[in-house]
């Protein structure tokens, strides 16, 4: 099949390359010329394990190309995916849908014949119906455009696997006359042949599935972090508690890692947009608990700042090393990163902060150019009076505590993710602190 993927960021570049990997002919479209030039050369402009190989293979096979030209996109295919950003609006909790709207405005007037647009971006409920109306108004005489919603659940760091072998495929369609299901069955023929669950819904359910999934995950993380606050006060151990409740199948251990909390380009903005939209549709009280989920999450960042001050006495002029800048391991994405937020706050509070991340350094420098960035883990640790493990990269989890002890000035570490083997670190002479347990 021929298809375009409009918006080639984390979601779109992955989707475009993986659709080509499934055998389709794909044209990726973006307004960012530099991104398109880089992708066309076979270079992924962000870190995603496995994606460079898929990109290169499919460019070489001639199944994948990139452009900034909407006319080329309109002429190339009758199936178009939208993967542009839907960030938080400035000064509001709501999602900014102007980029998805711009795609319809730029693409639809150029279309001829019958076209299907499948939205993958995470949008407030009601967006697809509004876009359908806009498309109907803009479609040239004799052209018909259907909008369907096909939310994306990929996880950065596992994006290729999640796109090629998804847990489930959700498709929201407008009604009986929809052509979307038949097209989606062809697009996703390979995963569907492997019994991937395929759930066809109305448009509003599909839109809500995605934000509900993220709201649930955020709530689970904040639940354990709220319990962690109590653990800290009474001297209980949140990691043992999480293990114990996680053995219950109904609860499960995943997403019960107490620590510095969630961040990134999705969870924080998605729960806020969900709250905002619930208010707009008149369900004001339904999601007010998400405000608390957000607040618990933000308090964990503050707790690490407070703990650093307690441990060091004062932050002024102290050399603090923050290990991690990406919002999670196996990604270079620093959007709303808890690690960078902590590094930035410590720096503003007078500490001399040095940051190291295996992949997120370039992006971090753009957001916080004033921080000091180390060239390696060794360089980061040298001379530190306090080390904070803020993102749970394997390189940090498997670090040798004896080796690290030989580099730092003060053997004091805050394990912001509860991932280090405590006994080994303590026997190497380290004073260890963690969130939700006293060590
Ligand atoms: N990143 C993830 O893990 C993930 C997972 C699931 C869903 N999502 C959702 O997918 C969407 C995109 O997220 P992302 O992380 O890929 O964002 P991103 O910022 O990495 O990418 C967005 C891309 O869209 C491009 N763009 C903006 N306006 C455009 C236009 N008019 N025409 C063509 N391109 C345009 C930008 O240049 C950019 O390359 C969001 O709604 C997000 O919530 C993301």
CATH of domain 239-434: 3.40.50.720
Question: 150 C-alpha vs ligand 1 centroid, how far in Å?
Answer: 14
Spatial neighbors of 353 by CB under 8 A, at least 6 apart, are 320, 321, 322, 343, 346, 347, 371, 372
Q: Which residues of the chain form CATH 3.40.50.720?
A: 2-196, 239-434
- Out of 29, 263, 265, 333, give the residue to mutate to test ligand 1, the one with the largest number of ligand atoms within 8 Å of its CB: 265
Overall fold of domain 2-196: Rossmann fold (3.40.50)
Instruction: For ligand 1, atom 35, name the residue with the nearest CA.
Output: 7
pLDDT of residue 176: 85
Task: Determine the atom of ligand 1 nearest the C-alpha atom of 46.
Answer: 20
pLDDT of residue 243: 98
Question: 7 C-alpha vs ligand 1 centroid, how far in Å?
Answer: 6
Task: Determine the atom of ligand 1 nearest the C-alpha atom of 269.
Answer: 43
pLDDT of residue 253: 97
Backbone phi, psi, residue 43, to 5°:
-110, 125
Question: 100 C-alpha vs ligand 1 centroid, how far in Å?
Answer: 9
For residue 328, give the nearest of 39, 47, 93, 54 by alpha carbon.
47
Give ligand 1 pocket residues (Cβ under 6 A). Answer: 6-12, 29-32, 35, 83-86, 99, 102-103, 121-122, 152, 154, 156, 265-266
Question: 168 C-alpha vs ligand 1 centroid, how far in Å?
Answer: 21
Instruction: For ligand 1, atom 17, name the residue with the nearest CA.
Output: 85
Task: Determine the atom of ligand 1 nearest the C-alpha atom of 6.
Answer: 33
Task: Determine the atom of ligand 1 nearest the C-alpha atom of 156.
Answer: 3
Instruction: For ligand 1, atom 37, name the residue with the nearest CA.
Output: 32
Question: 267 C-alpha vs ligand 1 centroid, how far in Å?
Answer: 14
- Out of 4, 6, 8, 9, give the residue to mutate to test ligand 1, the one with the largest number of ligand atoms within 8 Å of its CB: 9
Question: 119 C-alpha vs ligand 1 centroid, how far in Å?
Answer: 11
Spatial neighbors of 45 by CB under 8 A, at least 6 apart, are 13, 34, 35, 38, 39
Cα-based angle 129, 130, 135 (whole degrees, multiple of 5): 95
Per-residue pLDDT of the chain (439 residues; tens, 9 = 90+): 999 999 999 999 999 999 999 999 999 999 999 999 999 999 999 999 999 999 999 999 999 999 999 999 999 999 999 999 999 999 999 999 999 999 999 999 999 999 999 999 999 999 999 999 999 999 999 999 999 999 999 999 999 999 999 999 999 999 988 999 999 999 999 999 999 999 999 999 999 999 999 999 999 999 999 999 999 999 999 999 999 999 999 999 999 999 999 999 999 999 999 999 999 999 989 999 999 999 999 999 999 999 999 999 999 999 999 999 999 999 999 999 999 999 999 999 999 999 999 999 999 999 999 999 999 999 999 999 999 999 999 999 999 999 999 999 999 999 999 999 999 999 999 999 999 999 9
- Out of 11, 13, 48, 105, give the residue to mutate to test ligand 1, the one with the largest number of ligand atoms within 8 Å of its CB: 11
User: What's the rounded Cα separation, in Å, for the pair 111 and 5?
Assistant: 15
CB-count burial class (<10 Å; 0-12, 13-18, 19+) for 179: middle
Strands 352-356 and 372-373: parallel
Q: How far is CA 92 from the centre of its chain?
A: 20
The per-residue b/e assignment along 37-65, b for 16 or more CB within 10 angstroms, e otherwise, is ebbeeeebbbbbebbeebbbebbeeebbb
Task: State the catalytic residues.
Answer: 266
- Out of 49, 66, 83, 331, give the residue to mutate to test ligand 1, the one with the largest number of ligand atoms within 8 Å of its CB: 83
pLDDT of residue 17: 98
């Amino acid at each position: 099949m021929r298809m375009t993927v409009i918006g080639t960021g984390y979601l779109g570049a992955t989707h475009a390359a993986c659709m080509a990997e499934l055998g389709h002919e794909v044209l990726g479209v973006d307004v960012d010329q530099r991104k398109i030039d880089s992708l066309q050369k076979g270079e992924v402009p962000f870190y995603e394990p496995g994606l460079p190989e898929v990109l290169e293979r499919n460019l070489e096979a001639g199944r994948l190309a990139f452009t900034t030209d909407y006319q080329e996109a309109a002429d190339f295919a009758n199936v178009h995916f939208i993967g542009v950003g839907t960030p938080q609006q400035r000064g509001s909790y709501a999602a900014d849908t102007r980029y998805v709207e711009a795609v319809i405005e730029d693409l639809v007037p150029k279309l001829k014949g019958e076209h299907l647009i499948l939205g993958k971006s995470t949008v407030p409920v009601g967006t697809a119906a509004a876009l359908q109306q806009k498309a109907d108004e803009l479609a040239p005489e004799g052209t018909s455009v259907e909008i369907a919603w096909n939310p994306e659940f990929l996880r950065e760091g596992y994006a290729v696997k999640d796109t090629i072998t998804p847990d489930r495929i959700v498709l929201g369609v407008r009604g009986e006359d929809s052509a979307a299901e038949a097209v989606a069955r062809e697009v996703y023929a390979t995963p569907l042949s492997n019994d991937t669950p395929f759930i066809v819904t109305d448009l509003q359910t599909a839109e809500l599935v995605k934000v509900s999934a993220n709201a649930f995950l955020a709530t689970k993380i904040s639940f354990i972090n709220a319990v962690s606050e109590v653990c800290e006060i009474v001297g209980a151990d949140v990691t043992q508690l999480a293990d114990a409740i996680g053995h219950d199948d109904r609860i499960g251990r995943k997403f019960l890692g107490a620590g510095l909390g969630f961040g990134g380009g999705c969870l924080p903005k998605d729960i806020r947009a969900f709250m905002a939209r619930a208010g707009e549709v008149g369900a004001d009280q339904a999601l007010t608990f998400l405000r608390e989920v957000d607040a618990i999450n933000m308090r964990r960042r503050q707790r690490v700042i407070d703990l650093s001050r307690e441990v060091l006495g004062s932050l002024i002029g102290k050399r603090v090393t923050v290990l991690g800048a990406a919002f999670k391991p196996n990604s270079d994405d620093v959007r709303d990163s808890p690690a960078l937020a902590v590094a930035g706050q410590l720096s503003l509070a007078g500490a001399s902060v040095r940051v190291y991340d295996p992949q997120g350094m370039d992006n971090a420098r753009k957001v916080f150019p004033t921080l000091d960035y180390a060239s390696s883990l060794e360089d980061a640790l040298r001379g530190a009076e306090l080390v904070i493990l803020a993102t749970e990269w394997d390189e940090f989890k498997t670090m040798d505590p004896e080796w690290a002890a030989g580099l730092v000035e003060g053997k004091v570490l805050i394990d912001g993710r509860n991932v280090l083997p405590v006994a080994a670190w303590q026997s190497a002479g380290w004073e260890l602190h963690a969130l939700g347990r006293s060590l």
